């Protein structure tokens, strides 16, 4: 499916990003683990290498253009190509709208929306030259439902922006053999949600048609589909992986 391809996965040092990177590596992709968390990233790369996978850690701040540009350059210097980009780095905060400072807003939007934009921008010329590329953005059903719970207006806004970015990027790249799609997780057992789920998982599960929260592997499998040849004729789409939650529109407040 992705044998011999080179994948950059942002936010891959832990959590959902590491699950996605692991699945891609298991299918034969070379992995660039791009993250701010250097120690965790290096440890994760070591784990992959012990399993016989080819992996490289690069420290990157996705909200900083110089940092992103260096990440892309070093990836190409190392492997000669980049075939797959997974924009999975993300942050959130639980704050009511009136308590969100301008700095809070910028922090969340810079990582969650500016980051994918910068990574896509700097990989576009390389993928266009290759006439091949797969870009997968991680959005959220928060984009479709205004947040999963009270206090995520900046997070929901950033993830809604991802859907727009996905469509716009797809239009600009389709003629070059590049597809751009997004995966929108529902309530999922990730690093960002773990503390909230500890108190609300049972209540949350009751609102979902498939009555359980999703696992990181569910998201990784969707990403793998978009990264593979099986999605050749799909671009500009957002796939909700949410157990059917968006079909009924319920949220926990």
Burial-class residue 99 by CB neighbours within 10 Å (0-12, 13-18, 19+).
Answer: exposed
Angle at 18 between CA 15 and CA 19, to 5 degrees: 85
**Residue 117 annotated to the active site:** no
Report which DSSP code applies to 181: E
Report which DSSP code applies to 188: B
Residues 79, 117, 132, 155: which is the catalytic one? 155
CB atoms within 10 A of CB 62: 26
Burial-class residue 59 by CB neighbours within 10 Å (0-12, 13-18, 19+).
Answer: middle
Burial-class residue 199 by CB neighbours within 10 Å (0-12, 13-18, 19+).
Answer: exposed
Give the catalytic positions in this structure: 155
């Amino acid at each position: 499916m992705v044998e011999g391809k080179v994948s950059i996965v942002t936010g891959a040092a832990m959590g959902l990003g590491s699950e996605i990177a692991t699945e891609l590596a298991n299918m034969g992709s070379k992995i660039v683990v791009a993250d701010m968390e250097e120690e965790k990233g290096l440890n994760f790369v070591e784990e992959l290498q012990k399993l016989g996978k080819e992996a490289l850690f690069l420290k990157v701040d996705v909200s900083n253009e110089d940092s992103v540009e260096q990440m892309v350059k070093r990836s190409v210097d190392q492997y000669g190509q980049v075939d797959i980009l997974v924009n999975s780095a993300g942050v959130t905060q639980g704050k009511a709208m009136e308590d969100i400072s301008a700095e809070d807003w910028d922090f969340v939007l810079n990582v969650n929306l500016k980051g994918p934009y910068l990574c896509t921008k700097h990989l576009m010329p390389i993928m266009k030259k290759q006439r091949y590329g797969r870009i997968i953005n991680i959005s959220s059903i928060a984009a479709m439902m205004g947040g999963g719970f009270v206090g995520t207006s900046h997070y929901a806004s950033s993830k809604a922006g991802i859907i727009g970015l996905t469509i716009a990027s797809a239009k600009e790249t389709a003629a070059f053999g590049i597809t751009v799609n997004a995966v929108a997780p529902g309530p999922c057992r990730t690093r960002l949600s773990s503390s909230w789920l500890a108190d609300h998982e049972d209540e949350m599960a009751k609102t979902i048609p498939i009555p359980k929260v999703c696992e990181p592997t569910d998201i990784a499998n969707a990403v793998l589909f978009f990264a593979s040849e099986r999605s050749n004729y799909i671009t500009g789409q957002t796939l909700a992986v949410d157990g059917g939650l968006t079909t009924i529109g319920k949220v926990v407040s």
